[in-house]
Amino acid sequence: MLGFGKNKQASTEKTTVEAQNKNKQPAVSIDIAEDKFTVMPQQYLPQKGKTPKIPDAPNTGATPTSGINKKFLILGSVAFVALIALCVVLYIVFLSPKEATSPIAQAPAQSAPAQGANQENEDPSITEKIISTQAYDSSNILIGSMEITIPATVAQVFGTGIGITSLLSDDLTLPEEGAIIGGLYSIYPSGVSFDEALSIEIVLSDIPEEANMADIYPAYLRGVKWQEFDDYQATEAGFILTLEKLPTGTIAVIWNPAKAEENPEQNLNFTKAVPSIDTDEDGLTDAEEEMIGTSFSSVDSDEDTYPDLEEILNGYSPLASDGALLESSGIFAQYTNATYGYQISYPSGWLADSLDTTNKQVLFISETEEFFEVLIQENPLNTPIVDWFRSMSPSLKNIELDVAVLDGRPAVWSPDGLTLYVSKDGIIYILTYNRGTRDEISWPNMFEYFYNSFAFGNTINDNNAQDQDGDDSGSTTPDAL
């Protein structure tokens, strides 16, 4: 929401910056002064009345016949009365209409009628305010624009105190990598937080042809570094930021062609996994051929004219030329998870192992350190899988997702192609090829067979099925095909 988690600065620094900005923006100072008037009479009024009186009273008592002192006494009394009168006027003008609600209590968003009732002094016709500005290059060609939608509650408080300035790039720190496109903007008052978020749209007049949207992002100048906004929405011609707090630095859109490559992070490796050695180049790795029993020096081990891999992916045994089905070959076994309602096939020589009695994490372990895994995560709001994935991987927000279908439901691939996410009935099923420390994967086709065999089934609660293997784990494993 806020998008500035990383931008928390020491409060002293922030105060200094705000103070400077207040000096620059008289409109803001006026507003803040009004706020102070609403508070001052309550706390300071009695003391103000006393302050001039205390030194006067004892002095007059000590030298009773002094004419000069009498003059001071009269002047002091007049000043005191005038001050009281001034305070009363200020009290009537500023405080009394707001008495019903203390300033602190009305800070969070209240219902619109309540706010309206408290804003009698301000223009009730102010609802939502939109301000905008345009940016031009040195040849006076329009390069971009910024438009800010200010919610009514914020507009009523800040009035004209919020604005945008379009800047020139001459005296600014430019990004080390990439280039600024579509202008530079400064929004004031900088660093200020609002009760309601401002919607800020940046429109780019011209997006370079060579650029794609994954390389373009809105950022703000934080010290001497350009920091990408944590949260934004891409539009056809730019971006929309939703900010409850304004950054202290200049805002711009940066085009950095190297960004997509340099920003994988979050344990996700963008390089697609490379299969290990495949001597006969038939697509089955030597490790797979050895496990299955096919020849790693022949593309067609059973010499039925159908290549080994083609037979496997079409459900035929690569070891029998009589058209025998893979199901009855004993190469794969089936695992059933009744707790979370799914079935999946895995190489029968591997160990299928639920890590604990919850059956949330089941491993299918090969003779190498590599293993396949089905992991369960809750998805109580039943968020669609693409949205769920995006919410879990904010760093991938600009990456086009590889969306597949698994047992009739949309599924999302991780960028490295080794994890598949699918959702059903409030549960996320995460199918992963864990290659450990290996660069090359030994079981690419076994994994393909594995995830393609994934099928949703009934859970134990749906059908009251008996726990067939009697270990109370809700799983039945293995059931050889």
Residues near Ca ion, by CB under 5 A: 278, 280, 282, 284, 296, 300, 302, 304, 306
Shortest distance in whole angstroms from residue 316 CB to Ca ion: 8
Measured from the CB atom, is 309 or 352 closer to Ca ion? 309
Q: Least distance (Å) from Ca ion to the CB of residue 371? A: 22
CB of 325 to Ca ion, least distance (A): 13
Instruction: Decide if 3 contacts 229 (C-beta within 8 A).
Output: yes
CB of 367 to Ca ion, least distance (A): 17
Q: What's the half-sphere exposure (Cβ side, CA atoms, 13 Å) at 402?
A: 10
C-alpha–C-alpha distance, residues 167 and 171, integer Å? 9
**170 versus 303: smaller Cβ distance to Ca ion:** 303
Cβ-count burial of 222 within 10 angstroms (0-12 exposed, 13-18 middle, 19+ buried)? middle
Q: Using alpha carbons, select from 324, 343, 308 the residue that is nearest to residue 445.
A: 308
Write the DSSP string, 181-249: EEEEEEEESTT-EEEEEEEEEEEES---TT--GGGEEEEEEETTEEEE-SSEEE-SSEEEEEEEE--SS
Q: How far is the CB of 446 from Ca ion (least distance, A)?
A: 13
The contacts of residue 206 (CB under 8 Å, 6+ apart) are: 143, 181, 182
Compare residues 215 and 302 and give the one whose CB is closer to Ca ion: 302
Closer residue to Ca ion in complex, CB, 201/289: 289
**Nearest approach, Cβ of residue 331 and Ca ion (Å):** 14
Q: Identify whether the C-beta of residue 46 lies closer than 8 Å to the C-beta of residue 53.
A: no
C-beta of 366: minimal distance to Ca ion in Å?
A: 17
Structure tokens at 469: 């293997």
- Which residue, 186 or 301, is less far from Ca ion as judged by CB? 301
User: With respect to Ca ion, which residue has the nearer C-beta, 201 or 288?
Assistant: 288
- Secondary structure class of 363 (helix, strand, coil): strand
Name residue, tokens 């030597």: 286
Q: How far is the CB of 369 from Ca ion (least distance, A)?
A: 21
Please state the closest distance from residue 306 (CB atom) to Ca ion, in A: 4
Shortest Å, Cβ 311 to Ca ion: 5
Q: Which is nearer to Ca ion, 83 or 320 (CB)?
A: 320
- Sequence-distant (≥ 6) Cβ neighbours of residue 171 within 8 angstroms: none
Among 45, 67, 316, 25, smallest CA distance to 160 is for: 25
Closer residue to Ca ion in complex, CB, 37/306: 306
Q: Least Å distance between CB 372 and Ca ion? A: 20
Pairing of strands 440-441, 274-275: parallel
Q: Are 49 and 83 in contact (CB under 8 A)?
A: yes
Smallest separation, CB 328 to Ca ion (Å): 16
Smaller CB distance to Ca ion: residue 153 or 276? 276
Q: Which of 314, 336, 338 shows the shortest CA–CA distance to 326?
A: 314
Check: CB of residue 198 under 8 Å from CB of residue 149. yes
Nearer of residues 302 and 370 to Ca ion, judged by Cβ: 302
Q: Which is nearer to Ca ion, 213 or 320 (CB)?
A: 320
Give dist(CA 407, CA 329) in Å, integer.
23
Count of residues making up the chain: 481
Sign of CA dihedral 67, 69, 74, 75: positive
The tokens of 349 are what? 């020589």
Q: Closer CB to Ca ion, residue 215 or residue 282? A: 282
Diameter of the chain measured on Cα atoms: 132
How many Å apart are CA 110 and CA 320, to the nearest integer?
Answer: 74
